[in-house]
DNA sequence: GCCAATTATTTCAAGCTTAAAGTTTTATAA
DNA sequence: TTATAAAACTTTAAGCTTGAAATAATTGGC
């Protein structure tokens, strides 16, 4: 996915765009992952899960997390397992439906996330420093529009 | 990385942009991965390595591959191992420097890649269908410019 | 109530990924 | 020379990721 187009033709510009998009996100992602590890001894997937939970104090179901984060169910199970063993989140069985469990940040988890998120936002600002806030808004809009065009089919 | 900003302020738009960028590439990547598996029984990392090699008939060193694909050395070792065992690439020890080995697509690998790449380009065209070729060009330019601003430091 | 289908989640096997440590070969320089 | 460092690569351990199979609980039709 990271190599160049192998042909010319109508889809060429879109293929170029896709390759750029992928290289950009991989490069930034790698940098953020490394910093999270070095500065906070955590990982991107753990950060993602905590970020998702931080917005929703009442908690989320495993399947909500999975859908929201765009990763598989089994994947979330493992990450939450590790976060639980680190005391950062809890899994609470529900009376209503005993198949499900509500996942919540603990007090400690919430504090830890807030601390990391503040620094993280600064990193993103730095790494995307070449884009003005104005440009960022435009780019965001374009990404939003193309996404809605096909996502969530079937 | 996939949740929303947790604060307002100067970096807010860049954070939004980063989240959009990441969600877009993850969504497309997931779709492509699934199709590669279903239609060609292969994986994205294998496809990436083959795409890199396809451009360079004389072959690449392991370290070239690693740098080009933005992944670690050890990672490439594993993927190339599997491609070798499938008969799609070869590792040729070099006389000049016996630490290195030249990795090349086999005849079979080259044919297989060409076949997959043609379909793959169509998929990308479809998935990015909401972006006109003109827009694609503009977006690509913007992504290129921000990338050059910080990548390749130290 | 009972059984089949559905839903929520976990488990599993295979593969991907990284960082760090180890191996082999080449280059440097006293 | 001949140690010493540097370079290219592999190995390893831990964790991430998926898709598929397994488990457990709920729902719906009869």
Q: What's the pLDDT tens digit per position in A96-128?
A: 899 999 999 999 999 999 999 999 999 999 998
pLDDT per residue over B94-128, tens digit each?
888 999 999 999 999 999 999 999 999 999 999 98
pLDDT per residue over A36-59, tens digit each?
999 999 999 999 999 999 999 999
Tell me, yes or no, whether A141 lies in a domain.
Answer: no
Give how many domains chain B has, as a whole number. Answer: 1
* A124 contacts B18? CB cut-off 8 A: yes
Tell me, yes or no, whether A146 lies in a domain.
Answer: no
Residue-number span of the structural domain to which B98 is assigned: 39-118
Number of A/B CB contacts below 8 angstroms equals 207
Tell me, yes or no, whether A11 lies in a domain.
Answer: no
How many Å does it take to go from CA A60 to C1' D26?
Answer: 19
Tell me, yes or no, whether A2 lies in a domain.
Answer: no
- Per DSSP, the residues of B76-121 read HHHHHHHHHHTTSEEEEE-SS-TT-EEEEE-HHHHHHHHHHHHHHH
What residue has token string 């601003």?
A: B149
Tell me, yes or no, whether A12 lies in a domain.
Answer: no
Residue B45 has pLDDT above 90, yes or no: yes
Domain at A93, CATH number: 1.10.10.10
Q: H or E stretch including A102?
A: strand A101-105
Whether residue A114 lies within 8 A of chain B, CB to CB, comes out as yes
Nucleotide nearest to B61 (CA to C1'): D8
Whole-number percent of chain B with pLDDT over 70: 86
Task: Tell me which chain B residue has its CA closest to the CA of residue A47.
Answer: B1
pLDDT for the residue A152: 44
pLDDT for the residue A137: 85
Helix (H, G, I), strand (E, B) or coil at B61: strand
CA A25 to chain centre: 11
């Amino acid at each position: 996915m990271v190599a160049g187009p192998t042909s010319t033709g109508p889809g060429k510009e879109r293929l170029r765009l896709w390759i750029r998009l992928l290289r950009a996100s991989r490069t930034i992602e790698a940098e953020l992952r490394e910093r999270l590890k070095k500065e906070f001894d955590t990982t991107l997937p753990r950060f993602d899960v905590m970020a998702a939970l931080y917005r929703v104090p009442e908690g989320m179901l495993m399947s909500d997390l999975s859908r929201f984060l765009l990763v598989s169910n089994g994947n979330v199970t493992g990450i939450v397992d590790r976060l639980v063993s680190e005391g950062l989140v809890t899994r609470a069985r529900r009376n209503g439906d005993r198949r499900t469990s509500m996942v919540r940040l603990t007090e400690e988890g919430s504090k830890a996330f807030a601390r990391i998120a503040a620094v993280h936002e600064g990193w993103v600002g730095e790494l995307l420093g070449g884009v003005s806030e104005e440009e960022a808004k435009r780019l965001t809009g374009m990404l939003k529009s193309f996404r809605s065009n096909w996502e969530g089919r079937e």
